[in-house]
Amino acid sequence: MKLVTFRTQASSSERHGILEGERIIDLEAGLRWLEKDQGRAADRAAVVERYGNGLLGFIEHAEQARPAADELQRRAREGKLPDAHDGAPIVRAASDVALLAPLPRPPSMRDGYAFRQHVETARRNRGVAMIPEFDLFPVFYFTNHQAVIGPGELRVLPKHLERLDFELEAAIVIGKRGRNVPAARADELIFGLTIMNDFSARDLQMEEMKLSLGPAKGKDFATALGPYLCTLDELTANTTRTDKGNVFDLGMRAFVNDVQVSTGNVKDMNWTFAQILERASYGVTLYPGDVIGSGTCGTGCFLELNGSKITKDQWLRPGDRMALEIDGLGRLEHTVVLDDGACAIG
C-alpha cells in the first residue's frame, strides 16, 4: 500500500489517502462511507477515534485502520467504491492534488550512517583514513523533525547556498512502540519505507562540526520525505531475510536538471535497518511515526562526487531541479528557490 498526505486546490487542510495508480482514495471520506456501509457510526469524530487522525494516526491505529484500508483498496479495484460520500470525494485524480511529505511532522527523526562506500570515499577525499569505529556499531544523529518537506519547492537562504548539497537516502517509518529490541526482532517495528533527501549546507556544516557536536544549522533547514510511504508488504519480492535483519534490494538514483549523477542500492547498507533499530532502541522507546534514515548511499551527494572528480565543484543553485528515485518508493522531486528571509513571529 502506498500512503500519501496531500492538499487539494479547494482547501489548505492536510488529507491522507491511498495512491492507487493515477487515483487517490481519500481515507477519511472512504472510511466514513465504509463505516456507514457496515452499519456503524460514520461521523468524523467516530472515524477519527477508530482509525486515527492523519497518516500518523493511521499508523498508530494500524491494527484497525490497515484492514479497513485494504477493504477500501479491494473495493476500488473491483469498481465497487463510490466516487463520493455525503458530498465529499472518495476517489480523486492524483493530478488534482499537491502531495506533501507522507508524515509532515514525525514525532522524531534520526539519520544513520550505514553505507561504507560513502563514508570511506568522503574521508579519503579529505585525506583521512577510514575510521575503525564504523565497523563496531551503527551510528545516527537527530535532525529537525519540524523542518520536513514533501515534493515541490526547496526554499533556502543565502548561507544555505554556500555548497548546497543533496543526499540520496532511504528511510524507515516506525509502526510499533519498541524498547531494547534486538536486531533479530527489530524488523517487526517497521511500518514502511520512503525516500529521504537530507539536504545539507556544507559550509555551515563544516564550520559547526569543528566543535564536535555534529551537524545542526547545516542540516536543520529542510529534510524531504516522499512522495509516499510504502508498506513492507509491497516490497516482499525485494526483501531478503538475514540473521542481521531484512535486506532491501532497491535501486537508487539521483538526477540534477535531468542528468543522472548518482547510482546505488539500499541492499548495499553495511548496517541493516534492524541493526540501527537495535542501537536506537537501547534504553529508549521508539514510537509509531518515528523516522530513521539510512544515511547517504555511495555516490549519493555532491560532497563525495566533487571530491572524487566525478563532478567539478557542482552544488545546487536556485532554479535547479533535483530528483531522487528508489525502486518501489517512487520519485521525489524538488526545485531550489531562494527565500526572501522575512522575519516571521507567531
How many beta carbons lie within 10 A of that of residue 41, not counting itself? 12
**Residue length of the chain:** 346
Q: What percent of the chain has pLDDT over 70?
A: 100
At 310, is the secondary structure helix, strand, or coil? coil
User: What is the reported pLDDT for 122?
Assistant: 85
The pLDDT value given to residue 41: 85
pLDDT, tens digit (0-9, with 9 covering 90-100), for 206-215: 999 888 888 8
Measured between alpha carbons, how far is 25 from 4 in angstroms, rounded to an integer?
10
Asked if residues 303 and 122 have their Cβ atoms less than 8 Å apart, the reply is yes
User: Residue 81: pLDDT above 90?
Assistant: yes
What is the average pLDDT score of the chain? Answer: 96
pLDDT of the residue at 213: 85
Q: How far apart are the first and last CA of the chain?
A: 38
Say how far apart CA 203 and CA 107 lie, in whole Å. 28
Tell me the one-letter amino acid at 279: R
* Residues 143-202: tens digit of each pLDDT: 999 999 999 999 999 999 999 999 999 999 999 999 999 999 999 999 999 999 999 999
Over residues 272-300, the mean pLDDT reads: 98
**What interhelical angle do 27-37 and 44-51 show, nearest 10?**
100
Return the higher-pLDDT residue of 30 and 9. Answer: 30
Mean pLDDT, rounded, for 88-98: 96
Prior bond of 227 cis (ω within 30°): yes
Cell of 235: 516490497
Residue 16 in contact with residue 86, Cβ under 8 Å?
no
Q: Which three cell numbers stand for residue 144?
A: 529537525
Q: How many CB atoms lie within 10 A of CB 75?
A: 18
For position 55, what pLDDT does the model report? 97
The model's confidence at residue 125, banded by pLDDT at 50, 70 and 90, is confident
Mean pLDDT of 21-42: 94
Q: Is the pLDDT of residue 20 over 90?
A: yes
Query: Widest CA span of the chain, in angstroms?
Result: 68
Average pLDDT score over residue span 314-319: 98
| Residue 259 C-alpha from the chain's centroid | 23
